Structure 1
């Protein structure tokens, strides 16, 4: 393969990692209460390019701004480069636009929150918007590897039940992400001292922060069950299609890790490293689900990849219940 595409693959991987650092950095800012580390000043820090009074919160907030700015430049370069190099791949141009636009939007929301302040319900959207940008960059990277024949997801067959799982779970996962972000922004992470119940002496929450926390736990519990069902379905019917089979196995392992770190956040009294790991696992999970969505949309656009037969003809046993 030509050298330019080889270089593009490396740059795409580095950009994907940079976007992951943006996500984790945003979670770090929220969890350490550093969102106003630079005061009500943006893009300057306390109205200065080089602040005089250096605090841990200032370092965290300023570092996140610098990483986000660098990632924005990298995403812009990647979008233009991928557009020119692999623009013939159908999804490339759409993902190139989405990755950069959503990164800009999340930056503007962050800036508005610093300068004017925002409600917790609006701030909870910040992580989700960054997550879409990260997923778009990840998918763009995978498309580049596909164009280079490094990975292959050709000749897929997805029946209606599997497409239902993919569409439903990724939409629902975004709701779970929002409820988790709302927990952080409302400072409800330790509202319930017990797990999985809110308290050992009662079953139901009694005040707002407890309802926020338990709402997220319920949403997270349901997605664990749903992904387990989808992974079992893939194990039964899609072993011959490794990208689908292993995609769901990885998704199941990631959602288990996300659930475990969520419980450890309570048991460790909001240990910072555990909390960041919790954000890391949900970011990776959303990336995997986004790739499965891309594959499902491809088979939807290309019916020839799906099994088709005359009305009334019986499906083979291996495909009948897919």
Structure 2
């Protein structure tokens, strides 16, 4: 009992810590602090205690310290979860993923500092961090599920709905990549209007710059995701009206994607307000994490179908 209590605390701290890692990474990119420590890693400018302190250095170094602390915490969580509840079908796989992708994102971040990378490669960094966050979040939910805090085992998701959940989750990852590409190519404010690049001439594509194509490509991808999520939510909530997990979960998913669209528009209207931009990154992280939970439930449903 004492170990399970410790495990729950560790899982919650790890999940919250990963939120700081994700938003910290977005903060580094949005404030142009990626070079705050020069081209050295893990030290700043090759010094244990930096001699010249700048705001960019503080942001970059803080992100590295938080990520390093999270690495230790997640390893402890993964080992304890493996030992205590490894009998649960998904635990060992998620424990491995949470550690692997957390260290993968750290190594990609280090490589970006030491060796200059192009924007298309750098955009992968946020996606890798997102997978690590989702793995830790799912591990946390499993730990609380084992402790009987909630029960979702009675939910059986039909095959056609499972396939749609897989598809929309994969597509979300693509949309996340395009959003990261907008940040890394500094394309946030290349379009002065919303939802079109120029509301006065919405179909005038002839003189678009590369940055404007990236920005509008992301907006189009995000619009498709919103419409897809809305229609999927209506279908799933209607088909599983008996399930509190499905109704509540997809209700939250719809709320998150609506807030994501709103915050994306506010980024333009507020001329890249930092708080709104960080909120934009946080909302999509929660959205993707919840979708991954339904991937987990879908995989269970597939297993139950095969056994019956």
Greater than 4 Å deviation, 4+ residue runs = none
Once structures 1 and 2 are overlaid, which stretch shifts more, 230-239 or 122-131?
230-239
> Aligned to 1:251, which of 245, 250, 253?
253
Pairing 1:1-322 to 2, within 5 Å after superposition: 2-203=1-202, 204-205=204-205, 206-303=208-305
Query: Residue deviations 1:141-174, cap 9 Å, x none?
Result: 1111111111111121212332122111100000
CA distance in 2, matches of 1:159, 1:138: 24
Asked whether the equivalents of residues 158 and 301 of structure 2 are also in contact (C-alpha less than 8 Å), the reply is no
Distance 1:99 1:200 in 2: 43
TM-score, length of structure 1 as denominator length: 0.93
Give the Cα–Cα distance (whole angstroms) in 2 for the partners of residues 290 and 63 of structure 1.
29
The SS at the match of 2:237 is helix
Helix, strand or coil: the match of 2:48? Answer: coil
Q: Which moved more, 1:193-202 or 1:266-275?
A: 193-202
Deviates more, 1:202-211 or 1:5-14: 202-211
Which whole-Å CA distance do the structure 2 matches of 1:178 and 1:169 have between them? 14
TM-score (norm 2): 0.97
Give the Cα separation in 1 of the matches to 2:116 and 2:180.
16
Q: Indicate the SS of the match to 1:196.
A: coil
Asked if structure 1 preserves the Cα contact closer than 8 Å seen for 2:181 and 2:214, the reply is yes
Aligned Cα RMSD in Å?
1.1
Gaps in structure 1 of 5+ consecutive residues: 309-322
In the aligned structure 1, how far is the partner of 2:302 from the partner of 2:159? 10
Equivalent residue number for residue 311 of structure 1:
none
Q: Which moved more, 1:146-155 or 1:168-177?
A: 146-155
Q: How far did 1:304 drift?
A: 6.7
Structure 2 Cα separation of the partners of residues 292 and 303 of structure 1 = 16
SS of the residue 2:123 aligns to? helix
Secondary structure of residue in 1 paired with 2:155:
coil
Residue correspondences, number: 305
**Structure 1 stretch 261-270 or stretch 2-11: which is displaced more?**
2-11
Structure 2 unaligned spans of 5+: none
Counterpart CA distance in 2 for 1:115 and 1:185 is 17
